[in-house]
Structure 1
Amino acid sequence: MLIRYSADDKGRPIKKALIYTKDEHGITQDKIDPDALFILKQLQDYGFSAYIVGGAVRDLLVHKTPKDFDIVTDATPSKIKKIFRNSRIIGRRFRLVHVFFGSKIFEVSTFRSICDGTVGNRFGTMDEDVQRRDFTLNALYYDPLKEQIIDYVGGVKDIRKGIIRPVIPLKQIFEEDPVRMLRAVKYAATTGCKMPWTLKRKIQKSAHLLSPVSPSRLTEELLKIINSGHAYEIVKFAMEVDVYMCLQPAATALMYENSSFREKYFQHLKEMDAFQREHPDSRLGDKLIYLIYDFAASLTDWKAEVEYNSAASELYVQTWAQCRNFVLPMNPQRTELEYAIRSVLKQLGVSVRIPKKAFSPAKKTGEETPEIKKRPKKVNQSREDKSSRNKQIDTVLKTGKLKRQATPVAL
């Protein structure tokens, strides 16, 4: 094992990082995506440092095949763009580069500074960048060309011990970015690493911080869970630490109130995971079926309703509206949710043809919009949705039991 040193204010050497060699970490180059290796080699040939970072290093250490290879470098986004023509700079506030190889996308980011805290966006050094990482198991830098892992925070030992330990102090880690709680939950549910009691308790006390997080960020995190193939384990742990109420408040409400619904919901999560593992490239609508099935099935006696009610379009529009509210704050593509709802109705033995006049084209997006009633302005609508979600979350935090704000309309 090698040791990287730096000097203190008086010029005395202090240990800064451990460097694990190939014999110690056991990772071989054949485990690395050849296109990721090409990116690393190109950056280093141009005089920049470049490393594989994050979950890929963690997976390689425990002999798993990484899904993604994220790369970090001291090259700025504009310089990365000049090196790779098959790339694009993305992000306004947090700029990074996507490098394309066919259908594969590699994320290449620049070392970040800590001068603005752990959520700032200034470029910095590797020594600063590691202090911005959320947990030690995610704070390892691997150079496959030199076959070395650079460990500033004891991440290798924590992975081998199976412990999730934060890099950032507990008093500020979730206050600065509440979404880190969701990452901790995912790590605990999918890596086999244990979450210390102090971290678990901190998440439970900080769950309310997820309330003001934008629906777009929560949607992004939910989609990651849905596509992970481990949604059951993640949701189960998220319920345990009281954060699922912020991701899916309506589903959490029903699970607190109805043990039968809870069992069915979890069973369908298991089935969704099996489907995702078998069909990793399936469309989102196929997986939304598993999330909304039990709720949609409980709305009414569908066969009797269709026989009695000839207004098929109105029946569908009401179902769409309630399912849309059920998955809030997640905001999936309208076409995917419509696909899921129609598939669920078909499985329930209901064949509903939707006349074109049941929808009117949206002015800007070109999407179809249900003609239920005159829609309020988008800004006011989002405020109402957010206020409703906050009230549900506050109820759970205060009483431990979430009551539904409204009973589904009998269709």
Structure 2
Amino acid sequence: MLRIIPREQHSISRKNISKAALRVLYRLHDAGFDAYLVGGAVRDLLLGGHPKDFDVATNATPDEVKGLFRNCRLIGRRFRLAHVVFGPEIIEVATFRGTGEEGGEGDRHIVDGRIVRDNIWGTIEEDAVRRDFRVNALYYDIGDFSVRDYVGGMQDLEDSTMRLIGDPELRYREDPVRMLRAARLAAKLNFTIDKATAAPFATLGHLLGEAAPARLFDESLKLFLGGHGLKSFRMLEACGLLKFLFPVTARALERGDEALRALVEQGLANTDKRIADGKSVTPAFLFAVLLWGEVRDQAHAWMAEGLDVNEAWQRAAVHVVGEQCQRVAIPRRFTFTMEEIWALQPRFEQVHRKRVFRLMAHPRFRAAFDFLLLRAHESPQMNELGEWWAHAQQLPPEVLAQALGGGGVPSPEPPTVAAAPARKRRRRRKPAGRGKGDSGNA
């Protein structure tokens, strides 16, 4: 049932809407089309937030939108959209989606319950029920500045609850990634997930394994690099979804290693703080944190079998990254950095003069050192090792060199750490028939 909230009864102000979005809304409206701000931007504005992205819904078709804006390009095959470009800002304009099997100039194609192509145009009422969550189906009308609610989204905002529109099982089968979106938005907004909305996670979570790995990579960035990574991680665990997105991480944490959990959660908290402070972050470091437990355990297992230290770490990294990339397609430019961060960890234990300076000169030293500090909970020795390297970086190079060379300059004593297994040297066999007195039957 439609609920209209007039301008004086809601908190949305045009001064908090980007000028680019307002230009799109007004031009569509002035051309005789319906034009609404919709989705997450409306939700966040009503909650007092400051959205970065603004989406527009209209009854104009993509071609009609393109005819109004020279700076417009049409994209998408599954969902035909118009992108109106204003420098670095892109305003996404979507035509109202319909619920019928036929209509307009578009078409719909469903395979095994999943919508693979959907370009059926409809009314705003149909568009509302086609959206995923009720809090995302609120429309800000540029004509009279009211908010239009067709599905109960305002009530969910007041209740701080995430509810799906329609039958949850059917909606998740249409698009399994909606399960991750439920967890992410609940974490971001400090909302709870409605019981009916969360109930299918246990039985349908495995469908995430059929989602495109590249799409899951994008969703992972939204989960962990959106400023709410720690809460998203805890929400994924609470919902039982972590094992379907990061099975390697879930498996390592199930062993009950509290030091590993502390490392993961501190890494996520540090990332959230950097984002809040406006500092740069890289997915490579965060994925290195998430996959560390399994890489470490695999490397130690192979070293215990006598494998060379460097080869053990390299093999562990390749094995774990290969398994994870079957689920989440992490680009090679990130996995390469991850592998370097892991490979440098055992080198921190080699506090000898030449090796210390060589390690400090490595292009990944800073990232690897930050990673080392996260490992402080692993043992008192690891904490001591991190402190030693932190102090060593504060010393002038000549002072550090003299201290490491036994010159007696005050500096921390090299920490005592458990030595890595000794490298086994393979014995070379002499070619048959070449040694003196060799009978050829060695």
Contact conserved, 1:200 with 1:241, CA < 8 A, in 2?
yes
The superposition leaves residues 119-163 of structure 1 with CA deviations (integer Å, 9 ceiling, x where unpaired) of 433122211111111111111011245211011112112201212
Q: Contact conserved, 1:251 with 1:326, CA < 8 A, in 2?
A: no
- Cα distance in 2 for partners of 1:96, 1:90 equals 5
> Structure 1 residue 321 and structure 2 residue 318: aligned?
yes
Q: 1:87 to 1:201 in 2, by over 3 A?
A: same
Structure 1: which amino acid aligns with 2:36? Y
- Distance in 2 between residues matched to 1:68 and 1:345, nearest whole Å: 39
Within the alignment, does 1:181 sit opposite 2:179 as a pair? yes
Overall identity of the aligned pairs, in %:
32
- 1:97 equivalenced with 2:82 (yes/no): yes
> CA shift at 1:274, angstroms?
2.0
Name the counterpart of 1:62: 47
The TM-score, its normalising length taken from structure 1, stands at 0.74
Structure 1 residue 226, shift from structure 2 partner: 2.3
1:26 and 2:11 aligned: yes
Alignment equivalent of 1:150, drawn from 139, 148, 151: 148
Matched residue, 2:99: 114
Question: How do residues 8-407 of structure 1 correspond to structure 2 at under 5 angstroms?
Answer: 16-116=1-101, 119=115, 120-260=118-258, 261-279=260-278, 281-300=280-299, 318-325=315-322, 327-328=324-325, 329-346=327-344, 349=347
For the 8 Å contact 1:272–1:290, the answer to whether it is kept is no
- The 1:348–1:76 alpha-carbon spacing in structure 2 relative to 1, beyond 3 Å, is farther
SS at match of 1:270: helix
- Quote the offset at 1:45 in angstroms: 1.6
Q: Which amino acid in 1 is paired with 2:51?
A: P
Q: What secondary structure sits across from 2:179 in the alignment? A: helix
Instruction: Report the CA distance between 1:192 and its aligned residue.
Output: 1.8
Amino acid at match of 1:64: G
State the shift of 1:179 in Å. Answer: 1.3
Distance, in Å, in 2 between the alignment partners of 1:88 and 1:281 is 30
- Residues in 1 aligned to 2:24 and 2:285: alpha-carbon distance in whole angstroms: 35
CA distance in 2, matches of 1:346, 1:87: 47
Give a deviation string over 1:217-270, Cα, whole Å, max 9, x none: 222211211221112111211112211111111111111123322332222222
Deviation (angstroms), 1:279: 4.1
Aligned residue identity for 2:318: A
- Cα distance in structure 2, aligned partners of 1:101 and 1:346: 43
CA distance in 2, matches of 1:274, 1:112: 39
Give me the whole-angstrom Cα distance separating, in 1, the residues matched to 2:345 and 2:251.
Answer: 25
The question of whether the paired residues in 1 share the 8 Å contact of 2:84 and 2:93 is answered with yes
Distance, in Å, in 2 between the alignment partners of 1:287 and 1:80 is 40
Unaligned runs of 5+ in 2: 102-107, 109-113, 349-357, 363-422, 425-442
Q: Give SS of 1:257's match.
A: coil
Matching residue's letter, 2:96: F
**Matching residue's letter, 2:86:** F
Answer with 157-166 or 314-323: which moved more.
314-323
- Secondary structure at the aligned position of 1:72 is classed as strand
- Change beyond 3 A, Cα 1:182–1:292: same
Aligned residues: 336
Q: Distance in 1 between matches of 2:267 and 2:121?
A: 44
Contact 2:39 / 2:139 at 8 angstroms: preserved in 1?
yes
* Aligned-pair CA distance for 1:67: 2.2
Which structure: larger Rg? Answer: 2
Deviations 1:92-111, CA, capped at 9 Å, x for gaps: 22111222222122211111
Letter in 2 for 1:327: Q
1:250 partner SS: helix
Distance (whole Å) between structure 2 residues aligned to residue 281 and residue 29 of structure 1: 30
Contiguous gaps of at least 5 residues in structure 1: 1-15, 355-409
d(CA) in 1 for partners of 2:279 and 2:86?
Answer: 19
1:339 Cα deviation from its structure 2 partner: 2.1
Shift in Å at residue 280 of structure 1?
Answer: 5.8
